[in-house]
């Protein structure tokens, strides 16, 4: 199990970025959240197998149609077993 905190910059609010991220995450078995930040960016916490999280991160670089991702900052977090989120939420 790995967790990554991703902060996505560009035109990522108002284009169904969070909802699309939740749908893709669920299909990959990734847990965490996607939330709008006050500065127009979106924060995504992604926890799961390394392969699944990496696939979601690859998708985050493009996002849904209408999004224009200009930057993706990624931080690997330590997440002891049993402490990871149990679902994927949008906030």
Reference 3, options 89, 87, 78; nearest CA is 78
Contact between residue 6 and residue 57 where contact means Cβ atoms under 8 Å apart: yes
Strand bridging mode 68-77 / 2-11: antiparallel
- Selecting among 18, 23, 41, 55, the annotated active-site residue is 18
**At which residue do the structure tokens 């902060």 appear?**
7
36 is catalytic: yes
- Selecting among 36, 41, 55, 61, the annotated active-site residue is 36
Residues paired with residue 77 on neighbouring β-strands, in sequence order: 3
Which positions are annotated as active-site residues?
Answer: 18, 36
């Amino acid at each position: 199990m790995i967790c990554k905190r991703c902060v996505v910059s560009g035109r990522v609010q108002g284009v169904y970025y969070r909802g699309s991220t939740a749908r893709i995450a669920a299909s990959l078995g990734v847990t965490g959240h996607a939330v709008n930040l006050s500065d127009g960016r979106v924060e995504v916490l992604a926890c799961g197998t390394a392969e699944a999280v990496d696939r979601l991160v690859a998708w985050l670089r493009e996002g849904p149609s209408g999004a224009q991702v200009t930057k993706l900052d990624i931080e690997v977090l330590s997440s002891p077993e049993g402490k990871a989120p149990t679902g994927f939420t949008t906030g």
